[in-house]
Every structure is written in structure tokens, then in C-alpha cells.
A and B are shown apart, each in its own frame.
Chain A
Amino acid sequence: MLVAILQGLISGALVGGMYATVGIGLTLVFGVVRIVNFAHGSFLMAAAYASWLMYERYGIDPYLSGLILVPSFFVLGVAYYWGLMRPMVGKSLLAQSLLTIAVGYVIDNTALGLFSSQMRVVAVPYAVASLSIGPIALPVTRLIAGGVGLCATTIMYLLLWRTGMGIAVRAAAADRPIAEAMGINTHSAQAVVTGIGIACAALGGVVLLPIFAASPSMGADFTFLSFLIIVLGGMGSFFGALVGGVILGITENLGATFFDGSTGHMLTFVLFVVLLVFRPYGVLVRRR
């Protein structure tokens, strides 16, 4: 019993590290561009399918495909900003939301059309391998997810708080016209941030694929999950997102351990509702 709890805690926390990265991707784009990207999870799903496809067709290891996919999705995110989001900057919340919801809808249904609703798994040999520490067995794929998530979060933190680009991005988020007046190309800054946000989603899709398999419903699931992390951790907070991701990973995993997979999933929804009751303005805390 105790071992099961400990096991659930640790492997939940490891996946949670990756969830945090995905959540940060969403909150970063919202914080800087001020547009809620409801298609966030759909990009994650698209990357997961792309990774699966590369494995099926060419036998490329899913982690290796990430080396191609994550930069590609960065470029895709930059294009997404210039093509679709930029015209919506400063428009009504409804107009912006409808646009990103529509993009998500198109991606989700394209995936459904191309791949059907069937779950797609990558049958890599190490998917079942695990590292034993005493009685606790930690799946290798989850260890990788935790490690990659922590690294990605750290890199993004340093990028945002320790570089000139980070200053430009934060200034653009704080006061766009004045940032422009100080010589900052704010649209470029916002495009880069959108690229990073989408790359985070892609990283999540690639790294979580060997753990969960790809399915078209992943899109909506992960958009929701990202929101939950943001609400849990507080908008725009890196540390908060990390904590939120870990709490979420643990909730889901313990639920799955003691009940079943769908109960674990449901528990996250319960968590969301409880949170909204007790912290109704959670999402908006940092908004000015």
C-alpha cells in the first residue's frame, strides 16, 4: 500500500514536470500576446502524431524525432503568430477566442480524419523498462519526462529573466506602445514567444507519447490540463506552474492507481471545480 502510494506520487510528479512545461507554454503566450490560445493542446497532439508517424514509417525513435519536431513547431508557432494572431492583437476577447478555438477545431478534426479515433502507441522496447529503487520501480519514460520538463522549465526561466530577449519580451507584455517607443520590435518579441509556447506544446506531445499514446481527444484534454496548471499555479508564475503540474500529475496518477484511468482523469476535473470555488479569480490574479 505504502509502496503503491509512493510509486504513484513519484511517477505522477515526474509526468507533472512535463505538464508544467506544457502549461508554461500556454501562460507565456497569454501573458505576452494577451491572447488565450485554445489550440494549445491541439498543437501538442499534432506533434505527438507527427512523432508517431515518424516512428511508424521510418522507425525514428520518438525522442530523436523531437529534435526535428520541436524546432519545426517553433517555426510553426512564429508563423501562427504572424499569420493569425497578429491581426487579432488588441481585438475583443470573443474574436480572439473564436479564432484560436477554430484553429484547435481544425487541427483536432484533421487528426480524427487522418488517424481515426484509435489510440496510437509507439512500441519502443524501453517503453516498459524501469529503474528500481528498492521496492519502487520508476518507468524510464517517466524519468525522461520529468528530467526534460525540469530542463525546459529552467531554460525558459533563464531566457525570460536573464537575457536581453527576456527584457524585450517582458517590456512588450508590460506596456506594448512604450516598449515600441524604446526601440523594441514588439511584434517580433510576441512572435518568438508564440513560437516558444508552441514548441513547449510540441515537446510535451513528443515526450508524453511513449507514456500515453496519441489520440485526437488529446488536443482538448491538454488545453484543459494547461488551464488547470495555470489556475493552480497562478498566471505567469514559473514556480507556480511547476507546482501545479506536479500536483496535477500526482492527482491523476494516484487516481489511476487506486481506481482506474478514467477516474484519475475525472479527479483532475473535480480538482478544477474545487479550485474555482475557492479561488474563483485564480486565472485572473495577475491581470491588470
Chain B
Amino acid sequence: MLLEVRDLRTGYGAVEVVHGISFELAAGSMVGLIGANGAGKSGAMHAICGLLRHTGAVLLDGQDLARMSAHDRARAGLIMVPEGRRVFPGMSVRDNLLSASLHRRVRGRAQQTLDTVFHTFPRLQERLNQAAETLSGGEQQMLAIGRTMMGQPRVMVLDEPSLGLSPLFVQEVFRVIGALRETGLTILLVEQNVHHCLELSDYAYVLEQGHIVLQGAASDLLVDPRVRAAYLGTSNQPSEAEEVRQ
């Protein structure tokens, strides 16, 4: 397993919001994490990336990152695309991209990686000197993904990349995620857009109130009556659902 998270507990201040969850990602796979608003998805992602204090183990290729600072985890290759994009305001598109490629492991190849990013997102190249906050929401999402690509992640953690985007951009974002996956990148995808998420993923976990309540092959979850009822808004699929087992 490339990424293995064991018994992760985290929260905000004294309030625990993730109550001991475990999940894993095989190299080259794409794993989905779905759950309602406030289930603790972002909390869990911030924790594994080192932005929230936590207990439990976060093993990247066997190495436990749990005691490391956020910047050391990113340097090791566990890098997120944060919810809400969070591009650096007041900085150009170019500087936003370069911000993730300053450390030793990737510095030398920054120019090649930049070319890859431009190949994936030609729009960014056109807007290289524009201030990041003046980009449209969809373009900012592309910048946020491109920025994380610049750090040459071993595991990319995407937290709700389609949030607040127009349908056209949602399609575009999922197309890019699919393309990244094709390149062999290991991806952990947190999504409200459950249908899209399960269609793209190999495996998925369902998080409810800080607990993992369901997990399985994404194709199985897609037809699971509980998932359909809670997240896909359709529960009447009797024939298919009966065939599905945990």
C-alpha cells in the first residue's frame, strides 16, 4: 500500500470530529471518500497532511509521517488540493505554481513539471502573470491542481475539487482527474459529487459523523441501496441491489 492511514483521530480544539478511521490506497489507484456535509472529510484530510493535530499512523510507502510537520509531509509527497482552492492572493499564477516546487526533491525539475502543468491546463499558461485571485472559480481550481502537481505528489489528496463550479467546469475538473489518474498518479478524492466520484474511483469509503460506515469497490457502492438512498437520491434499484454484497 502506498498510503495507509490507521486509527486516525482528529478534531478542532477539544472537539473530536474524526473518531479513529482507517483507510488505504494502493499505488496507482484512485480512492474515493464520500460523506455528508460536516462528516469530517476535510478534517481527516487536513490531519493526514499535517495541518491538524491527530493521533494514529499515516504511512506513506511504509514511512510514518505522523510526527512530521505539514511541510515535511508535502516534501515527502503527500500533497493536497485544498477545499475552496485557496490559491495565494496577491501572487501571480506563475508564483502560485512555483510555490509548491521550492524544496530540494523537486526544485531541479520545476521547469519540466511546469510544462506538464501547461500541457494539462493551457489556460494557465495564457494567464501566467495575472494575479491568482482575478481568475474565475474554475480557473482557480485548475491553478490549485496545477500547484499541487508542481510538488510532484506521490499521493494527491483532492478535497471537493468540483465544489461551487459551473457544470462545464465540473466536467473539465473530472476529465483532468481522470487524465491524472491515467498517468499513474495515486489519488484520494473527497467529493460531494458522489456519482462522479464513484464512477472514477477504484475503491471508496463512506464517512458518517467521523466514522467509516461503509467501504467497498466503487462499482459496488454505486449500486448499493444505502449509498443510493443517502447520496444518490435514488433507492429503488431492487434487482441490482440484491446482487451486491459487502
Contact A180 B70 (CB under 8 A): yes
Given contacts A170-B95, A171-B99, A288-B89, contact A183 B74 (CB under 8 A): yes
Contact B100 A182 (CB under 8 A): yes
What is the minimal beta-carbon distance from A110 to any residue of chain B, in angstroms? 36
- Chain A residues with CB under 8 Å of B98's CB are 164, 167
Residues 90-109 (chain B) with a chain A CB within 8 angstroms: 90-91, 95-96, 98-100, 102-103, 107
The distance in angstroms between the C-alpha atoms of A179 and B95, with both chains bound, is: 12
Interface size class of A (residues with CB under 8 A): 10 to 19
| 22 A-B pairs in the complex with CB atoms less than 8 angstroms apart | A167-B99, A168-B99, A168-B102, A170-B88, A170-B90, A171-B99, A178-B82, A180-B74, A181-B51, A181-B79, A181-B82, A182-B74, A182-B100, A182-B147, A182-B148, A183-B75, A183-B79, A183-B100, A184-B71, A184-B102, A186-B71, A288-B89
- Chain B residues with CB under 8 Å of A284's CB are none
The distance in angstroms between the C-alpha atoms of A183 and B76, with both chains bound, is: 9
Interface on B for A, CB 8 Å cutoff?
A: 49-51, 69-71, 74-75, 79-80, 82, 86, 88-91, 95-96, 98-100, 102-103, 107, 147-148, 151
Among A167, A175, A180, A183, which residue has its beta carbon within 8 angstroms of that of B95?
A: A167
Residues 146-180 (chain A) with a chain B CB within 8 angstroms: 164, 167-168, 170-171, 174-175, 177-180
The distance in angstroms between the C-alpha atoms of A168 and B95, with both chains bound, is: 9
Chain B CB within 8 A of A116 CB: no
The distance in angstroms between the C-alpha atoms of A186 and B70, with both chains bound, is: 10
Chain B CB within 8 A of A130 CB: no
The distance in angstroms between the C-alpha atoms of A175 and B99, with both chains bound, is: 12
- Chain B residues with CB under 8 Å of A117's CB are none
The distance in angstroms between the C-alpha atoms of A95 and B99, with both chains bound, is: 31
Contact A185 B82 (CB under 8 A): no
What is the minimal beta-carbon distance from A91 to any residue of chain B, in angstroms? 15
What is the minimal beta-carbon distance from B133 to any residue of chain A, in angstroms? 10
What is the minimal beta-carbon distance from A237 to any residue of chain B, in angstroms? 12
What's the count of A-B pairs with C-beta under 8 Å? Answer: 72
Contact B99 A184 (CB under 8 A): yes
Query: What is the chain A residue whose CB lies nearest that of B104?
Result: A183
Contact A174 B90 (CB under 8 A): yes
What is the minimal beta-carbon distance from B82 to any residue of chain A, in angstroms? 6
- Chain A residues with CB under 8 Å of B147's CB are 182
Interface on A for B, CB 8 Å cutoff?
A: 164, 167-168, 170-171, 174-175, 177-186, 288
What is the minimal beta-carbon distance from B128 to any residue of chain A, in angstroms? 14
Among B74, B91, B103, B107, which residue has its beta carbon within 8 angstroms of that of A181?
A: B74
Given contacts A167-B99, A168-B99, A177-B70, contact A183 B89 (CB under 8 A): no
The distance in angstroms between the C-alpha atoms of A186 and B50, with both chains bound, is: 13
Query: What is the chain B residue whose CB lies nearest that of A171?
Result: B99
- Chain B residues with CB under 8 Å of A185's CB are 69, 71
What is the minimal beta-carbon distance from A217 to any residue of chain B, in angstroms? 37
The distance in angstroms between the C-alpha atoms of A175 and B51, with both chains bound, is: 12
Of residues B70, B86, B148, B151, which shows the largest number of chain A Cβ atoms within 10 Å of its Cβ?
Answer: B70
- Chain A residues with CB under 8 Å of B80's CB are 181
The distance in angstroms between the C-alpha atoms of A175 and B74, with both chains bound, is: 16
The distance in angstroms between the C-alpha atoms of A16 and B144, with both chains bound, is: 42
What is the minimal beta-carbon distance from B107 to any residue of chain A, in angstroms? 8
The distance in angstroms between the C-alpha atoms of A179 and B91, with both chains bound, is: 12
Of residues A171, A179, A182, A184, which shows the largest number of chain B Cβ atoms within 10 Å of its Cβ?
Answer: A182
What is the minimal beta-carbon distance from B206 to any residue of chain A, in angstroms? 25
The distance in angstroms between the C-alpha atoms of A181 and B144, with both chains bound, is: 12
What is the minimal beta-carbon distance from B66 to any residue of chain A, in angstroms? 16
Q: Given A167-B95, A170-B88, A182-B74, list of 12 further CB < 8 A pairs?
A: A164-B107, A171-B95, A177-B51, A178-B82, A178-B86, A180-B51, A180-B69, A180-B71, A181-B74, A181-B82, A182-B147, A186-B71
- Chain A residues with CB under 8 Å of B107's CB are 164
- Chain A residues with CB under 8 Å of B82's CB are 178, 181
- Chain A residues with CB under 8 Å of B50's CB are 180-181
The distance in angstroms between the C-alpha atoms of A56 and B17, with both chains bound, is: 64
Contact B102 A167 (CB under 8 A): yes
What 7 pairs between A and B have smallest CB-CB spacing? A183-B74, A180-B70, A174-B88, A182-B100, A171-B99, A178-B86, A183-B103
The distance in angstroms between the C-alpha atoms of A126 and B48, with both chains bound, is: 62
Contact B86 A183 (CB under 8 A): no
What is the minimal beta-carbon distance from A37 to any residue of chain B, in angstroms? 21
- Chain B residues with CB under 8 Å of A179's CB are 88, 99
- Chain A residues with CB under 8 Å of B74's CB are 180-183
- Chain A residues with CB under 8 Å of B99's CB are 167-168, 171, 179, 182, 184
